[in-house]
Amino acid sequence: MTPHRRIDEASPVRIALLGCGTVGSAVARLLTEQAEDLRVRAGRRLELVGIAVRDTTRERPGIDSSLLTDDPLALVTAEEVDLVVELIGGIEPARELVLAALDRGASVVTANKALLATHGAKIFETAERNGRDVYFEAAVAGAIPIIRPLRESLVGDEITSIIGIVNGTTNYILDKMHSDKQTFESALTEAQELGYAEADPTADVAGHDAAAKAAILAGLAFHCRVRAEEVFCEGITEVTPEDIAAAESMDSVMKLLAICQVNPEDETVAVRVHPTMVPRKHPLASVDGAYNAIFIESQSAGRLMFYGPGAGGSPTASAVMGDLVTVARNLVRGATGPGESSYRGLAVADAGAIRTAYHIRLQVADVAGTLESVAACFARNHVSVRAVRQEAQGAVGEAVELVIVTHVARTQDLDAAVAELRLLDQVTGPVRPMRVEG
């Protein structure tokens, strides 16, 4: 274990910043503009000693150019650095730099959900071995304080489920598809024009961003390790105006949800991200625009909801600064905060074993025996039907839309039932299943 540089009453906490984009530049400016307040809150002066960037010649208003370097490894392993703030994103070189900083003896603050969801075990093991902190409030839901409540406030409780809207881009798109009756493509274009979506929006609209956040939340809530690749993930690219209309006919709205639950029957953790019909009476249904919200259920505290801006330079910088001050306080006291808690070792449930209710739309010929054949498909595959509705009455033999709502069923059973439905002679059009929660 590398000993800390002694932080006596006259010594500042020295900070290295990796990345100077929207969030990084906001953090750098806050360290300068609020220097005196931060000194009082942290118990020592916070001194920014270097900023690693790709291009040191680029103009960065409000940033001292003498702090810039294009050698991040030299910066994070410098003897005088006490705390490294990683805001470059991605897996490499972030992984290498964070591990090097921890091994050198610096604590780390990061907003990198992809890194933690992929290599969190190694990072936390390295931090524990070296007696250092890893804080990551900004990795999930921007300014919303959710990581610390899970690591500290609720650590004495038994959390049973987490359901959240954790990606502002997809929430904005789906909200526009409801409120303005836009198509996915037009809503995405508007989100890009407003800066809510990247030029390449794949990570958001395909669900990968939300899946990484879900992995982090599940690991914290259920004290186990969950990797991003273990999360069932389905994005919103296939959501149509017809799906939106179907949700509204059920007095529901469509949301991309991250859902983390423990299955008490086999002690597995089900972690999934997918478009979902949410009843309007559920608190998450009213979360609009680019906002995020996370709904927690626990045995003792009951139901809790955290709501706020989930992205953007200032909100994310706020979460980073909160972690930065907390870690600085720990350094001054010679202490560390909570590390990884993975003692339960729960397995992640196979995608086919995930249980939820479904809303299924299908076109069928309006002839005798059709409903009986459809019901038999569900019965053979152990899917219990809750309600059936025929959308319109046509002439005998014409195609009509049938809507079926199921009770909670296993994904593999529902998939088998849908596969059978598509082979029926009476089914004349696409079979469209959508998940229902809440």
Residue 82 and residue 215 share a domain: no
Residue 27 and residue 136 share a domain: yes
- Cβ neighbours of 85 (radius 10 Å): 29
- 3-class state of residue 149 by DSSP: helix
CA 96, CA 181: separation in Å to the nearest integer?
A: 46
Domain contains 266: yes
Domain contains 53: yes
Domain with 238 in it: 146-309
Residue 133 and residue 187 share a domain: no
Instruction: Write the DSSP assignment of 4-49 as a string of letters.
Output: PPP--TTPPEEEEEE--SHHHHHHHHHHHHTHHHHHHHHSS-EEEE
CATH number at residue 432: 3.30.70.260
CATH number at residue 83: 3.40.50.720
Percent of the chain whose predicted confidence (pLDDT) is above 90: 89
- pTM metric for this prediction: 0.94
Domain contains 47: yes
Domain contains 159: yes
Domain contains 2: no
Instruction: Write out pLDDT tens, residues 85-124.
Output: 999 999 999 999 999 999 999 999 999 999 999 999 999 9
Residue 322 and residue 302 share a domain: no
What angle (nearest 5°) sits at the alpha carbon of residue 97, between those of residues 93 and 102? 155
Any known ligand binding at 394?
no
Residue 367 and residue 304 share a domain: no
Instruction: Write out pLDDT tens, residues 412-429.
Output: 999 999 999 999 999 999
Any known ligand binding at 281?
no
Residue 328 and residue 281 share a domain: no
Residue keyed to tokens 């059709």: 370
Any known ligand binding at 233?
no
Any known ligand binding at 20?
yes
Residue 179 and residue 163 share a domain: yes
Tokens of 9: 């009453």
**Which of the listed residues 258, 274, 309 is the one where a domain comes to its end?**
309
Per-residue pLDDT of the chain (438 residues; tens, 9 = 90+): 554 555 666 789 999 999 999 999 999 999 999 999 999 999 999 999 999 999 999 999 999 999 999 999 999 999 999 999 999 999 999 999 999 999 999 999 999 999 999 999 999 999 999 999 999 999 999 889 999 999 999 999 999 999 999 999 999 999 999 999 999 999 999 999 998 899 999 999 999 999 999 999 999 999 999 999 999 999 999 999 999 999 999 999 999 999 999 987 788 999 999 999 999 999 999 999 999 999 999 999 999 999 999 878 888 999 999 999 999 999 999 999 999 999 998 999 999 999 999 999 999 998 889 999 999 999 999 999 999 998 766 555 678 999 999 999 999 999 999 999 999 999 999 999 999 998
Structural domain total, the chain = 3
Tokens of 373: 């054949």
CA 242, CA 251: separation in Å to the nearest integer?
A: 14
Residue 180 and residue 254 share a domain: yes
Domain contains 167: yes
Long-range CB pairs of 414-420 (<8 Å, 24+ gap) are: 414/358, 414/381, 414/383, 415/352, 416/381, 417/377, 417/378, 417/380, 417/381, 417/383, 418/360, 420/377, 420/380, 420/381
Question: Which residues are marked as active site?
Answer: 213
Residue 264 and residue 213 share a domain: yes
CATH number at residue 300: 3.30.360.10
Residue 188 and residue 92 share a domain: no
Regarding beta strands 302-309 and 291-298, do their DSSP bridges make them parallel or antiparallel, or are they unpaired? Answer: antiparallel
CB 145 within 8 A of CB 296: no
Any known ligand binding at 255?
no
Residue 213 and residue 184 share a domain: yes
Residue 292 and residue 387 share a domain: no
